[in-house]
Amino acid sequence: MSQSLSQLAASAAESPDVLSSVIGTLVEGKRRERQKAASVAALVSAERPEALQPHIADLVGVLEVPESQTRWEVLDALTRLVQFDSRACEKGLVGAEASLFDEDSGPARLAAMKFLCKVGSTTEARSEKVWPLIDEAIQCYHGDLEFQDMLIALIEFSEGKLSAEVKAQLGARMGFDARNARGPLGKRAKIIVENVTRA
């Protein structure tokens, strides 16, 4: 990959053959090659996510690699692909769970939370499937640097197709912050509680 990442991403977004080559490197390359390919895939997903739709299964498979950067960039790509094929993306939940509790990588934890919230917002059944993980993450990372961005994902989750039970539990979990916290935390918590308590 002698081209810059942005140049390669632009080529991959327009050429299925170039994109297939990038995905092949992502699946079979060495660590550094995987990281570059993951960066390209994430860039493509930001510009033309539909181009990656045929490669969702490969992206899901990559979630088991050891390096966190590859995993968080692939999770970012998969999050953008949920709108096109939520069923295929749902198969990434197991890999996302491992990244959600990656003790060494805040970006991996955040990317996993965004992905879980996106998938979970699509149906009531999926909301129940992901809720235990989301609930645990809220408790684990409440004071962490990435928590404010996690709250943005939680707002989107709270606007989705959640089951009544998940709505009730999410409202209860965020209730203390909604009543007592100040600044962005308090504001975002209030939005979440309002979203899940609307008639």
Q: Are residues 75 and 138 in the same domain?
A: no
Which positions ≥6 away from 43 have C-beta within 8 Å?
5, 6, 9
Q: Are residues 87 and 127 in the same domain?
A: no
**Separation of alpha carbons 151 and 122, rounded Å:** 18
Q: Are residues 3 and 85 in the same domain?
A: yes
Q: Are residues 138 and 189 in the same domain?
A: yes
Within-domain flag for 103: no
Within-domain flag for 86: yes
**Separation of alpha carbons 82 and 75, rounded Å:** 11
**Separation of alpha carbons 165 and 173, rounded Å:** 12
Within-domain flag for 113: no
Within-domain flag for 164: yes
Q: Are residues 128 and 87 in the same domain?
A: no
| Radius of gyration of the chain, Cα coordinates, nearest whole angstrom | 17
> Does residue 64 contact residue 57 with C-beta atoms inside 8 Å?
no
> Does residue 155 contact residue 147 with C-beta atoms inside 8 Å?
no
Within-domain flag for 111: no
Q: Give the residue carrying structure tokens 């490669």.
A: 55
Q: Are residues 61 and 137 in the same domain?
A: no
pLDDT confidence bin for 25, thresholds 50/70/90: very high
pLDDT of residue 79: 98
**Separation of alpha carbons 169 and 35, rounded Å:** 37
Tens of pLDDT along 136-155? 999 999 989 899 999 999 99
Q: Are residues 84 and 154 in the same domain?
A: no
**Separation of alpha carbons 88 and 12, rounded Å:** 21
Whether the full predicted model's pTM is greater than 0.75, yes or no, is yes
Within-domain flag for 154: yes
pLDDT of residue 1: 44
- The last residue of one of the domains, among 91, 115, 132, is 91
**Separation of alpha carbons 162 and 174, rounded Å:** 15
Q: Which amino acid is at 54?
A: P
User: What DSSP character marks residue 55?
Assistant: G
Within 13 Å of residue 73, how many CA atoms lie on the same side as its CB?
Answer: 18
Tens of pLDDT along 38-79? 999 999 999 999 999 999 999 999 999 999 999 999 999 999
Domain of 34? 1-91
48 to 29, 30, 36, 52, 152: CA distances (angstroms): 23, 26, 18, 8, 23
Q: Are residues 4 and 74 in the same domain?
A: yes
pLDDT of residue 198: 84
Per the structure, the count of domains in the chain is 2
Q: Are residues 80 and 130 in the same domain?
A: no
Within-domain flag for 104: no
Tens of pLDDT along 86-130? 999 999 999 999 999 999 999 999 999 999 999 999 999 999 999
pLDDT of residue 123: 98
Q: Is pLDDT of 199 > 70?
A: no
- The last residue of one of the domains, among 51, 76, 91, is 91
Q: Are residues 72 and 148 in the same domain?
A: no
Within-domain flag for 79: yes
Q: Are residues 133 and 79 in the same domain?
A: no
Tens of pLDDT along 148-193? 999 999 999 999 999 999 999 999 999 999 999 999 999 999 999 9
Q: Are residues 87 and 1 in the same domain?
A: yes
